[in-house]
Chain A
Amino acid sequence: MPERSRSPRRSYEGVALVAPVSVPYKRHSDKPAHWWIGKALKSLADRTGLSPADFDGLCASSFTLAPDTAVGLTQHFGIGPRWLDHIPMGGASGLVALRRAARAVQSGDAEIVACVAGDSNSQGSFGDLVSDFSRFAQDAAFPYGAAGPNMSFALLTRAYMRKYGATREDFGRLCIAQRENARQFPNALMKSPLTMDDYLGARVIAEPLHLFDCVMPCAGAEGFAVMREDAARALNLPYARLLSAIERHNAFPDDDIQLRGGWAVDRDELWSAAGVSPGDADFLQTYDDYPVISMMQIEDLGFCRKGEAKDFVRSHSLTAHGTFPHNTSGGQLSVGQAGAAGGYLGLVEAVRQLTGEALGAQVEKAQIGVVSGFGMINFDRGLCSAAAVLAAGEAND
Protein backbone atom coordinates (compact mmCIF):
# COMPACT_ATOMS: atom_id res chain seq x y z
CA MET A 1 0.00 0.00 0.00
CA PRO A 2 1.44 3.39 -0.97
CA GLU A 3 2.69 5.65 1.79
CA ARG A 4 0.48 8.64 2.24
CA SER A 5 2.11 11.94 1.58
CA ARG A 6 2.63 13.84 4.83
CA SER A 7 3.47 17.14 3.21
CA PRO A 8 0.73 19.69 3.69
CA ARG A 9 -1.04 20.60 0.48
CA ARG A 10 -1.74 24.21 -0.32
CA SER A 11 -5.37 25.10 -0.76
CA TYR A 12 -7.07 25.71 -4.09
CA GLU A 13 -8.44 29.02 -2.87
CA GLY A 14 -9.28 31.51 -5.58
CA VAL A 15 -9.70 28.93 -8.38
CA ALA A 16 -12.88 29.10 -10.48
CA LEU A 17 -14.37 26.55 -12.90
CA VAL A 18 -16.49 28.20 -15.58
CA ALA A 19 -18.27 27.54 -18.85
CA PRO A 20 -19.21 23.85 -18.72
CA VAL A 21 -19.65 22.76 -22.35
CA SER A 22 -20.67 19.53 -24.07
CA VAL A 23 -20.71 18.71 -27.78
CA PRO A 24 -23.78 16.50 -28.24
CA TYR A 25 -22.74 12.85 -28.57
CA LYS A 26 -23.17 10.62 -31.60
CA ARG A 27 -23.12 6.83 -31.56
CA HIS A 28 -20.74 6.80 -34.53
CA SER A 29 -18.86 9.61 -36.19
CA ASP A 30 -16.47 9.87 -39.12
CA LYS A 31 -15.24 13.23 -37.85
CA PRO A 32 -11.84 12.96 -36.16
CA ALA A 33 -11.12 13.79 -32.51
CA HIS A 34 -9.68 17.14 -33.64
CA TRP A 35 -13.16 18.19 -34.82
CA TRP A 36 -14.81 17.17 -31.56
CA ILE A 37 -12.20 18.96 -29.44
CA GLY A 38 -12.36 22.00 -31.72
CA LYS A 39 -16.14 22.15 -31.30
CA ALA A 40 -15.70 22.08 -27.52
CA LEU A 41 -13.16 24.92 -27.70
CA LYS A 42 -15.50 26.99 -29.88
CA SER A 43 -18.27 26.47 -27.34
CA LEU A 44 -15.88 27.56 -24.58
CA ALA A 45 -15.04 30.74 -26.50
CA ASP A 46 -18.73 31.44 -27.17
CA ARG A 47 -19.74 30.81 -23.55
CA THR A 48 -16.99 32.98 -22.06
CA GLY A 49 -16.98 35.71 -24.71
CA LEU A 50 -13.24 35.18 -25.05
CA SER A 51 -11.26 34.90 -28.27
CA PRO A 52 -8.90 31.99 -29.05
CA ALA A 53 -5.85 34.09 -28.14
CA ASP A 54 -7.25 34.75 -24.65
CA PHE A 55 -6.75 31.10 -23.69
CA ASP A 56 -3.10 31.03 -22.60
CA GLY A 57 -3.35 27.49 -21.27
CA LEU A 58 -4.64 24.30 -22.92
CA CYS A 59 -5.12 20.85 -21.44
CA ALA A 60 -6.41 18.05 -23.68
CA SER A 61 -7.36 14.39 -23.33
CA SER A 62 -8.26 11.93 -26.08
CA PHE A 63 -7.79 8.28 -27.03
CA THR A 64 -8.20 8.88 -30.77
CA LEU A 65 -5.95 11.86 -31.48
CA ALA A 66 -2.95 9.78 -32.67
CA PRO A 67 -0.48 10.55 -34.08
CA ASP A 68 -1.14 13.95 -32.51
CA THR A 69 -1.04 15.08 -28.90
CA ALA A 70 -1.99 18.40 -27.32
CA VAL A 71 1.13 19.79 -29.00
CA GLY A 72 -0.32 19.30 -32.46
CA LEU A 73 -3.59 20.87 -31.37
CA THR A 74 -1.90 24.25 -30.78
CA GLN A 75 -0.98 24.49 -34.46
CA HIS A 76 -4.26 22.95 -35.63
CA PHE A 77 -6.23 25.53 -33.64
CA GLY A 78 -3.81 28.41 -34.22
CA ILE A 79 -3.04 29.24 -30.61
CA GLY A 80 0.22 29.97 -28.79
CA PRO A 81 -0.42 29.01 -25.16
CA ARG A 82 2.27 29.51 -22.54
CA TRP A 83 1.05 26.43 -20.64
CA LEU A 84 0.15 23.09 -22.23
CA ASP A 85 -0.70 19.66 -20.88
CA HIS A 86 -1.90 16.32 -22.24
CA ILE A 87 -3.57 14.01 -19.75
CA PRO A 88 -3.79 10.36 -20.88
CA MET A 89 -5.74 9.15 -17.87
CA GLY A 90 -9.09 8.10 -19.30
CA GLY A 91 -11.77 8.38 -16.65
CA ALA A 92 -9.57 10.41 -14.32
CA SER A 93 -8.68 12.92 -17.03
CA GLY A 94 -11.11 15.69 -16.12
CA LEU A 95 -10.19 15.81 -12.45
CA VAL A 96 -6.47 15.57 -13.10
CA ALA A 97 -6.75 18.30 -15.74
CA LEU A 98 -8.53 20.43 -13.16
CA ARG A 99 -5.80 19.83 -10.57
CA ARG A 100 -3.05 20.81 -13.03
CA ALA A 101 -4.92 23.82 -14.39
CA ALA A 102 -5.83 25.07 -10.91
CA ARG A 103 -2.17 25.19 -9.88
CA ALA A 104 -1.29 26.90 -13.16
CA VAL A 105 -3.72 29.77 -12.60
CA GLN A 106 -2.83 30.02 -8.88
CA SER A 107 0.86 30.34 -9.69
CA GLY A 108 0.37 32.69 -12.62
CA ASP A 109 1.79 30.27 -15.16
CA ALA A 110 -1.47 30.77 -17.03
CA GLU A 111 -4.53 32.99 -16.65
CA ILE A 112 -7.21 31.09 -18.54
CA VAL A 113 -6.87 27.38 -19.17
CA ALA A 114 -9.17 25.55 -21.57
CA CYS A 115 -9.63 21.96 -20.38
CA VAL A 116 -11.08 19.75 -23.10
CA ALA A 117 -11.55 16.06 -23.87
CA GLY A 118 -12.97 14.58 -27.02
CA ASP A 119 -13.02 11.40 -29.00
CA SER A 120 -14.30 10.10 -32.27
CA ASN A 121 -15.92 6.70 -32.72
CA SER A 122 -15.96 5.44 -36.28
CA GLN A 123 -17.47 2.06 -37.10
CA GLY A 124 -15.18 -0.68 -35.81
CA SER A 125 -12.63 1.61 -34.19
CA PHE A 126 -13.54 0.59 -30.65
CA GLY A 127 -12.09 -2.89 -31.18
CA ASP A 128 -8.75 -1.41 -32.23
CA LEU A 129 -8.72 0.84 -29.17
CA VAL A 130 -9.40 -2.09 -26.86
CA SER A 131 -6.94 -4.56 -28.41
CA ASP A 132 -4.10 -1.98 -28.40
CA PHE A 133 -4.99 -0.37 -25.08
CA SER A 134 -1.74 -0.94 -23.19
CA ARG A 135 1.29 -3.19 -23.30
CA PHE A 136 0.17 -5.35 -20.39
CA ALA A 137 -3.36 -5.55 -21.79
CA GLN A 138 -2.05 -6.65 -25.20
CA ASP A 139 0.29 -9.22 -23.67
CA ALA A 140 -1.64 -10.65 -20.75
CA ALA A 141 -5.32 -9.64 -20.83
CA PHE A 142 -6.66 -9.37 -24.40
CA PRO A 143 -5.58 -12.89 -25.47
CA TYR A 144 -7.91 -14.35 -22.81
CA GLY A 145 -11.07 -14.28 -24.88
CA ALA A 146 -10.64 -10.91 -26.63
CA ALA A 147 -13.42 -9.33 -24.60
CA GLY A 148 -11.69 -6.06 -23.72
CA PRO A 149 -12.48 -4.35 -20.42
CA ASN A 150 -15.68 -6.39 -20.04
CA MET A 151 -13.57 -9.34 -18.89
CA SER A 152 -11.68 -7.42 -16.19
CA PHE A 153 -14.86 -5.79 -14.91
CA ALA A 154 -16.82 -9.04 -15.00
CA LEU A 155 -14.21 -10.68 -12.80
CA LEU A 156 -14.01 -7.87 -10.27
CA THR A 157 -17.79 -7.45 -10.23
CA ARG A 158 -18.12 -11.15 -9.50
CA ALA A 159 -15.51 -10.93 -6.71
CA TYR A 160 -17.24 -7.85 -5.26
CA MET A 161 -20.64 -9.56 -5.26
CA ARG A 162 -19.22 -12.66 -3.58
CA LYS A 163 -17.36 -10.71 -0.92
CA TYR A 164 -19.98 -8.11 -0.02
CA GLY A 165 -23.25 -9.72 -0.97
CA ALA A 166 -24.28 -7.11 -3.54
CA THR A 167 -26.85 -8.38 -6.05
CA ARG A 168 -27.66 -7.59 -9.65
CA GLU A 169 -30.75 -5.74 -8.37
CA ASP A 170 -28.44 -3.38 -6.44
CA PHE A 171 -26.56 -2.50 -9.62
CA GLY A 172 -29.91 -2.23 -11.36
CA ARG A 173 -31.15 0.39 -8.89
CA LEU A 174 -28.19 2.56 -9.79
CA CYS A 175 -28.62 2.09 -13.56
CA ILE A 176 -32.38 2.72 -13.43
CA ALA A 177 -32.00 5.95 -11.43
CA GLN A 178 -29.41 7.18 -13.89
CA ARG A 179 -31.71 6.41 -16.81
CA GLU A 180 -34.40 8.43 -15.05
CA ASN A 181 -31.95 11.36 -14.87
CA ALA A 182 -30.93 10.87 -18.50
CA ARG A 183 -34.52 11.14 -19.69
CA GLN A 184 -34.26 14.86 -18.95
CA PHE A 185 -30.71 15.33 -20.25
CA PRO A 186 -30.75 16.49 -23.87
CA ASN A 187 -27.39 14.92 -24.84
CA ALA A 188 -28.14 11.44 -23.53
CA LEU A 189 -28.07 8.71 -26.20
CA MET A 190 -30.27 6.39 -24.14
CA LYS A 191 -33.50 7.92 -22.94
CA SER A 192 -36.05 5.16 -23.10
CA PRO A 193 -37.35 4.17 -19.65
CA LEU A 194 -35.48 1.28 -18.02
CA THR A 195 -37.36 -1.07 -15.68
CA MET A 196 -35.86 -3.62 -13.32
CA ASP A 197 -37.27 -6.34 -15.57
CA ASP A 198 -35.50 -4.76 -18.57
CA TYR A 199 -32.28 -4.56 -16.57
CA LEU A 200 -32.38 -8.11 -15.23
CA GLY A 201 -33.57 -9.62 -18.50
CA ALA A 202 -30.92 -8.02 -20.70
CA ARG A 203 -28.51 -10.01 -22.81
CA VAL A 204 -25.52 -11.43 -20.90
CA ILE A 205 -22.13 -10.00 -21.98
CA ALA A 206 -19.63 -11.49 -19.52
CA GLU A 207 -21.13 -13.08 -16.42
CA PRO A 208 -22.30 -11.38 -14.21
CA LEU A 209 -22.34 -8.32 -16.52
CA HIS A 210 -25.36 -7.84 -18.77
CA LEU A 211 -26.07 -5.24 -21.44
CA PHE A 212 -27.14 -2.37 -19.17
CA ASP A 213 -24.03 -2.75 -16.97
CA CYS A 214 -21.90 -1.73 -19.93
CA VAL A 215 -21.50 1.74 -21.43
CA MET A 216 -22.12 2.45 -25.09
CA PRO A 217 -18.98 3.77 -26.82
CA CYS A 218 -19.71 6.94 -28.79
CA ALA A 219 -18.21 10.19 -30.10
CA GLY A 220 -18.39 13.43 -28.17
CA ALA A 221 -16.52 16.15 -26.32
CA GLU A 222 -16.68 17.98 -23.01
CA GLY A 223 -14.86 20.97 -21.62
CA PHE A 224 -14.63 23.77 -19.08
CA ALA A 225 -12.30 26.67 -18.35
CA VAL A 226 -10.23 27.33 -15.24
CA MET A 227 -9.36 30.86 -14.15
CA ARG A 228 -9.05 32.90 -10.98
CA GLU A 229 -12.28 33.79 -9.19
CA ASP A 230 -11.69 37.51 -9.74
CA ALA A 231 -11.33 36.87 -13.48
CA ALA A 232 -14.61 34.94 -13.52
CA ARG A 233 -16.36 37.76 -11.71
CA ALA A 234 -14.85 40.36 -14.06
CA LEU A 235 -16.20 38.37 -17.01
CA ASN A 236 -19.55 38.03 -15.23
CA LEU A 237 -19.39 34.24 -15.55
CA PRO A 238 -21.11 31.97 -13.05
CA TYR A 239 -18.53 29.67 -11.51
CA ALA A 240 -17.83 26.82 -9.12
CA ARG A 241 -15.00 26.85 -6.59
CA LEU A 242 -12.54 24.03 -5.96
CA LEU A 243 -12.42 23.14 -2.27
CA SER A 244 -10.09 20.14 -2.52
CA ALA A 245 -8.88 17.49 -4.93
CA ILE A 246 -6.92 14.23 -4.81
CA GLU A 247 -5.40 11.78 -7.24
CA ARG A 248 -3.66 8.41 -6.76
CA HIS A 249 -2.19 5.90 -9.19
CA ASN A 250 -1.68 2.15 -8.81
CA ALA A 251 -3.00 2.03 -5.25
CA PHE A 252 -3.15 -1.34 -3.44
CA PRO A 253 -1.01 -3.22 -6.00
CA ASP A 254 -0.95 -6.36 -3.83
CA ASP A 255 -4.72 -6.83 -3.67
CA ASP A 256 -5.74 -10.08 -5.41
CA ILE A 257 -8.41 -8.28 -7.38
CA GLN A 258 -9.72 -4.73 -7.38
CA LEU A 259 -12.38 -4.25 -4.71
CA ARG A 260 -11.22 -0.74 -3.78
CA GLY A 261 -9.48 2.20 -5.42
CA GLY A 262 -7.06 4.96 -4.53
CA TRP A 263 -9.84 7.12 -3.04
CA ALA A 264 -9.58 4.95 0.10
CA VAL A 265 -5.97 6.12 0.53
CA ASP A 266 -6.68 9.84 0.15
CA ARG A 267 -10.28 10.48 1.15
CA ASP A 268 -9.52 11.76 4.68
CA GLU A 269 -7.32 14.42 3.15
CA LEU A 270 -10.00 15.20 0.56
CA TRP A 271 -12.63 15.91 3.20
CA SER A 272 -10.37 17.65 5.72
CA ALA A 273 -8.92 19.97 3.07
CA ALA A 274 -12.43 20.79 1.87
CA GLY A 275 -13.65 21.51 5.38
CA VAL A 276 -16.86 19.53 4.76
CA SER A 277 -17.97 15.95 5.30
CA PRO A 278 -19.80 13.46 3.04
CA GLY A 279 -23.14 14.42 4.62
CA ASP A 280 -22.69 17.98 3.34
CA ALA A 281 -22.63 16.91 -0.32
CA ASP A 282 -25.72 17.90 -2.31
CA PHE A 283 -24.83 15.45 -5.08
CA LEU A 284 -22.19 12.95 -6.20
CA GLN A 285 -20.97 12.33 -9.74
CA THR A 286 -19.08 9.03 -9.93
CA TYR A 287 -17.25 7.47 -12.84
CA ASP A 288 -19.68 4.80 -13.98
CA ASP A 289 -18.03 2.69 -16.64
CA TYR A 290 -19.71 -0.18 -14.78
CA PRO A 291 -22.07 0.16 -11.81
CA VAL A 292 -19.78 -1.75 -9.44
CA ILE A 293 -17.21 1.02 -9.86
CA SER A 294 -19.76 3.63 -8.75
CA MET A 295 -20.50 1.46 -5.70
CA MET A 296 -16.78 1.31 -4.90
CA GLN A 297 -16.52 5.09 -5.12
CA ILE A 298 -19.53 5.57 -2.82
CA GLU A 299 -17.71 3.40 -0.26
CA ASP A 300 -14.13 4.52 -0.75
CA LEU A 301 -15.05 8.22 -0.65
CA GLY A 302 -16.69 7.64 2.72
CA PHE A 303 -20.42 7.94 1.93
CA CYS A 304 -20.85 4.55 3.60
CA ARG A 305 -18.64 1.81 5.02
CA LYS A 306 -16.79 -0.67 2.82
CA GLY A 307 -19.09 -3.32 1.42
CA GLU A 308 -22.24 -1.38 2.36
CA ALA A 309 -22.94 0.43 -0.90
CA LYS A 310 -25.58 -2.25 -1.52
CA ASP A 311 -27.44 -1.06 1.58
CA PHE A 312 -26.81 2.55 0.57
CA VAL A 313 -28.44 2.14 -2.85
CA ARG A 314 -31.35 0.24 -1.26
CA SER A 315 -32.03 3.00 1.29
CA HIS A 316 -31.61 6.04 -0.98
CA SER A 317 -33.32 7.32 -4.09
CA LEU A 318 -30.53 8.22 -6.49
CA THR A 319 -32.28 10.51 -8.96
CA ALA A 320 -31.59 14.25 -9.19
CA HIS A 321 -34.57 14.92 -6.92
CA GLY A 322 -33.92 11.93 -4.64
CA THR A 323 -32.35 11.63 -1.20
CA PHE A 324 -28.89 11.15 -2.74
CA PRO A 325 -28.63 12.74 -6.20
CA HIS A 326 -26.13 10.68 -8.18
CA ASN A 327 -24.92 11.03 -11.79
CA THR A 328 -27.54 13.66 -12.42
CA SER A 329 -27.03 13.83 -16.21
CA GLY A 330 -27.55 10.08 -16.51
CA GLY A 331 -23.85 9.28 -16.43
CA GLN A 332 -22.01 7.31 -19.05
CA LEU A 333 -24.36 4.37 -18.58
CA SER A 334 -27.16 6.41 -20.16
CA VAL A 335 -25.46 9.35 -21.89
CA GLY A 336 -22.78 7.20 -23.57
CA GLN A 337 -19.01 6.91 -23.19
CA ALA A 338 -17.28 9.36 -25.50
CA GLY A 339 -13.76 8.06 -24.82
CA ALA A 340 -11.75 10.42 -22.63
CA ALA A 341 -14.71 12.83 -22.52
CA GLY A 342 -16.28 10.21 -20.24
CA GLY A 343 -13.69 11.34 -17.73
CA TYR A 344 -15.10 14.88 -17.99
CA LEU A 345 -18.83 14.12 -18.02
CA GLY A 346 -19.36 14.13 -14.24
CA LEU A 347 -17.18 17.17 -13.64
CA VAL A 348 -18.86 19.25 -16.36
CA GLU A 349 -22.26 18.22 -14.98
CA ALA A 350 -21.15 19.19 -11.45
CA VAL A 351 -20.19 22.70 -12.58
CA ARG A 352 -23.59 23.03 -14.28
CA GLN A 353 -25.39 21.93 -11.13
CA LEU A 354 -23.44 24.35 -8.91
CA THR A 355 -23.97 27.30 -11.26
CA GLY A 356 -27.67 26.54 -11.71
CA GLU A 357 -27.17 25.76 -15.40
CA ALA A 358 -28.29 22.14 -15.51
CA LEU A 359 -29.34 21.06 -19.01
CA GLY A 360 -31.60 18.42 -17.49
CA ALA A 361 -32.75 17.87 -13.92
CA GLN A 362 -31.46 20.53 -11.54
CA VAL A 363 -30.60 19.51 -7.97
CA GLU A 364 -32.37 22.03 -5.75
CA LYS A 365 -30.12 24.49 -3.92
CA ALA A 366 -26.96 22.61 -4.85
CA GLN A 367 -24.08 24.18 -2.93
CA ILE A 368 -21.55 21.36 -2.46
CA GLY A 369 -20.83 18.73 -5.10
CA VAL A 370 -18.42 15.79 -5.19
CA VAL A 371 -16.93 14.41 -8.40
CA SER A 372 -14.96 11.21 -8.73
CA GLY A 373 -12.90 9.73 -11.55
CA PHE A 374 -11.39 6.36 -12.37
CA GLY A 375 -9.30 5.30 -15.28
CA MET A 376 -7.10 3.00 -17.25
CA ILE A 377 -7.37 -0.78 -16.96
CA ASN A 378 -3.69 -1.18 -17.79
CA PHE A 379 -3.78 -4.91 -17.01
CA ASP A 380 -6.24 -6.24 -14.42
CA ARG A 381 -7.40 -3.12 -12.53
CA GLY A 382 -8.03 0.59 -12.96
CA LEU A 383 -4.87 2.47 -12.03
CA CYS A 384 -5.96 6.11 -11.82
CA SER A 385 -8.33 7.46 -9.20
CA ALA A 386 -9.18 11.08 -8.49
CA ALA A 387 -11.84 13.12 -6.74
CA ALA A 388 -12.73 16.74 -6.02
CA VAL A 389 -15.07 18.65 -3.75
CA LEU A 390 -16.61 21.69 -5.44
CA ALA A 391 -18.75 24.52 -4.12
CA ALA A 392 -21.04 27.05 -5.73
CA GLY A 393 -19.28 30.36 -6.40
CA GLU A 394 -20.26 33.30 -4.24
CA ALA A 395 -21.85 35.16 -7.10
CA ASN A 396 -24.35 32.32 -7.54
CA ASP A 397 -25.63 32.40 -3.96
Chain B
Amino acid sequence: MSAAMREFAQRAGAGGLVMQACAACGAIEWPPRDVCRRCWSDSLQWTPVNAAGVVIATTMLHASMEDFFRARLPWRVGTIRLAAGQVAYAHLHRALAEGDAARIEAHLDFKGRGVLVALPVDAGEIDQRLSELTSTTEG
Protein backbone atom coordinates (compact mmCIF):
# COMPACT_ATOMS: atom_id res chain seq x y z
CA MET B 1 0.00 0.00 0.00
CA SER B 2 1.38 3.42 -0.91
CA ALA B 3 1.77 6.13 1.73
CA ALA B 4 -1.04 8.12 0.09
CA MET B 5 -3.31 5.06 0.21
CA ARG B 6 -2.47 4.56 3.90
CA GLU B 7 -3.64 8.12 4.51
CA PHE B 8 -6.91 7.25 2.76
CA ALA B 9 -7.28 4.09 4.85
CA GLN B 10 -6.78 6.10 8.06
CA ARG B 11 -9.80 8.19 7.03
CA ALA B 12 -11.96 5.28 5.85
CA GLY B 13 -14.76 3.89 7.96
CA ALA B 14 -15.63 7.23 9.54
CA GLY B 15 -18.68 7.70 7.30
CA GLY B 16 -18.86 9.76 4.14
CA LEU B 17 -16.22 9.86 1.47
CA VAL B 18 -12.88 11.67 1.79
CA MET B 19 -10.50 12.03 -1.15
CA GLN B 20 -7.56 14.21 -2.13
CA ALA B 21 -8.51 17.59 -3.62
CA CYS B 22 -5.93 19.77 -5.33
CA ALA B 23 -5.59 23.09 -3.51
CA ALA B 24 -4.33 24.71 -6.71
CA CYS B 25 -6.89 23.63 -9.33
CA GLY B 26 -9.62 21.82 -7.38
CA ALA B 27 -9.28 18.45 -9.15
CA ILE B 28 -10.34 15.42 -7.10
CA GLU B 29 -7.80 12.59 -7.29
CA TRP B 30 -8.36 8.82 -7.41
CA PRO B 31 -6.44 6.61 -6.85
CA PRO B 32 -4.58 8.59 -4.16
CA ARG B 33 -1.34 10.10 -5.45
CA ASP B 34 1.44 12.57 -4.72
CA VAL B 35 0.94 15.18 -7.44
CA CYS B 36 -2.22 16.49 -9.10
CA ARG B 37 -3.02 14.83 -12.42
CA ARG B 38 -4.29 18.10 -13.91
CA CYS B 39 -1.81 20.79 -12.83
CA TRP B 40 1.08 18.89 -11.19
CA SER B 41 0.72 20.73 -7.88
CA ASP B 42 1.67 18.71 -4.79
CA SER B 43 -0.83 20.56 -2.58
CA LEU B 44 -3.31 17.72 -2.21
CA GLN B 45 -5.61 17.92 0.79
CA TRP B 46 -7.97 15.25 2.18
CA THR B 47 -11.45 16.71 1.72
CA PRO B 48 -15.01 15.40 2.07
CA VAL B 49 -16.36 14.91 -1.48
CA ASN B 50 -19.76 14.21 -3.00
CA ALA B 51 -20.46 10.55 -2.25
CA ALA B 52 -22.75 10.07 -5.26
CA GLY B 53 -21.79 7.92 -8.24
CA VAL B 54 -23.19 6.09 -11.25
CA VAL B 55 -22.55 2.42 -11.99
CA ILE B 56 -20.73 2.16 -15.36
CA ALA B 57 -20.09 -1.60 -15.52
CA THR B 58 -20.52 -4.63 -13.29
CA THR B 59 -19.04 -8.09 -13.10
CA MET B 60 -19.33 -11.20 -10.99
CA LEU B 61 -15.91 -12.62 -10.19
CA HIS B 62 -15.83 -16.44 -10.17
CA ALA B 63 -12.12 -16.77 -9.37
CA SER B 64 -9.91 -14.98 -6.86
CA MET B 65 -6.38 -15.17 -5.45
CA GLU B 66 -7.46 -14.41 -1.86
CA ASP B 67 -9.12 -16.91 0.49
CA PHE B 68 -11.66 -14.39 1.84
CA PHE B 69 -13.16 -13.91 -1.62
CA ARG B 70 -12.72 -17.58 -2.62
CA ALA B 71 -14.96 -18.52 0.28
CA ARG B 72 -17.65 -16.10 -0.94
CA LEU B 73 -17.65 -16.44 -4.75
CA PRO B 74 -19.12 -15.17 -6.92
CA TRP B 75 -18.09 -11.69 -5.78
CA ARG B 76 -19.66 -8.56 -7.24
CA VAL B 77 -17.59 -5.50 -8.18
CA GLY B 78 -18.01 -2.62 -10.60
CA THR B 79 -16.71 0.54 -12.18
CA ILE B 80 -18.20 3.76 -10.77
CA ARG B 81 -18.14 7.27 -12.22
CA LEU B 82 -17.96 9.46 -9.12
CA ALA B 83 -19.90 12.71 -9.06
CA ALA B 84 -16.66 14.17 -7.71
CA GLY B 85 -15.08 13.48 -11.10
CA GLN B 86 -12.99 10.33 -11.10
CA VAL B 87 -13.59 6.71 -12.05
CA ALA B 88 -13.13 4.09 -9.33
CA TYR B 89 -13.60 0.41 -8.69
CA ALA B 90 -15.98 -0.46 -5.87
CA HIS B 91 -17.40 -3.51 -4.14
CA LEU B 92 -21.01 -3.53 -5.32
CA HIS B 93 -24.20 -4.13 -3.39
CA ARG B 94 -26.04 -6.99 -5.08
CA ALA B 95 -29.01 -4.73 -5.98
CA LEU B 96 -26.94 -2.36 -8.14
CA ALA B 97 -26.93 -2.62 -11.94
CA GLU B 98 -25.44 -0.59 -14.80
CA GLY B 99 -26.82 2.92 -14.98
CA ASP B 100 -27.97 2.96 -11.35
CA ALA B 101 -27.18 5.85 -9.06
CA ALA B 102 -25.13 4.75 -6.08
CA ARG B 103 -23.93 6.06 -2.75
CA ILE B 104 -20.21 5.47 -2.17
CA GLU B 105 -18.74 4.76 1.25
CA ALA B 106 -15.14 4.25 2.28
CA HIS B 107 -14.41 1.29 4.57
CA LEU B 108 -11.56 -0.81 5.88
CA ASP B 109 -11.67 -4.36 4.51
CA PHE B 110 -10.69 -7.62 6.20
CA LYS B 111 -7.00 -6.86 5.59
CA GLY B 112 -7.16 -3.24 6.75
CA ARG B 113 -7.16 -1.92 3.20
CA GLY B 114 -9.15 1.20 2.46
CA VAL B 115 -11.85 0.27 -0.07
CA LEU B 116 -14.87 1.86 -1.72
CA VAL B 117 -18.29 0.24 -1.34
CA ALA B 118 -21.19 1.20 -3.63
CA LEU B 119 -24.68 1.01 -2.11
CA PRO B 120 -28.16 1.75 -3.44
CA VAL B 121 -29.22 5.36 -2.88
CA ASP B 122 -32.32 4.17 -1.02
CA ALA B 123 -31.12 2.05 1.86
CA GLY B 124 -32.06 -1.43 0.68
CA GLU B 125 -31.59 -4.82 2.27
CA ILE B 126 -28.24 -5.45 3.86
CA ASP B 127 -25.86 -7.32 1.54
CA GLN B 128 -24.37 -9.91 3.88
CA ARG B 129 -21.15 -10.27 1.88
CA LEU B 130 -20.41 -6.54 2.12
CA SER B 131 -21.00 -6.65 5.88
CA GLU B 132 -18.47 -9.47 6.17
CA LEU B 133 -16.00 -7.57 3.97
CA THR B 134 -15.85 -4.69 6.43
CA SER B 135 -16.35 -6.56 9.71
CA THR B 136 -13.97 -9.48 9.26
CA THR B 137 -10.35 -9.09 10.33
CA GLU B 138 -7.62 -11.30 8.94
CA GLY B 139 -4.80 -9.10 10.20
Contacts and interface: CB of A to CB of B under 8 A. Distances in A.
Interface of A: 127, 130-131, 135-136, 138-141, 143-148, 150-151, 154-156, 158-159, 162, 203-208, 253, 256-257, 379-380
Given A145-B75, A256-B79, A159 B87 contact: no
Contacts of B31: 135-136, 139-140, 379
A143 B59 contact: no
Interface of B: 1-2, 4-5, 30-32, 37, 56-66, 69, 74-75, 77-79, 81, 87-91, 98, 109, 111, 113, 115
Contact of B65 (A130, A139, A206, A207): A130
A135 B3 CA distance: 10
Given A158-B57, A159-B57, 18 more contacts: A140-B30, A143-B109, A143-B113, A144-B91, A144-B115, A145-B66, A145-B69, A150-B61, A151-B89, A154-B59, A155-B78, A206-B62, A207-B59, A207-B60, A207-B62, A207-B74, A257-B57, A380-B79
A380 B98 CA distance: 17
B109 A147 contact: no
A380 B89 contact: yes
Q: Which of B30, B31, B64 has the most CB of A within 10 A?
A: B31
A214 to B, nearest CB: 9
Given A162-B98, A206-B61, A146 B79 contact: no
Contact of A140 (B65, B74, B81, B88): B88
B51 to A, nearest CB: 17
Contact of A147 (B57, B64, B111): B64
Nearest to B89: A144
B87 A380 contact: yes
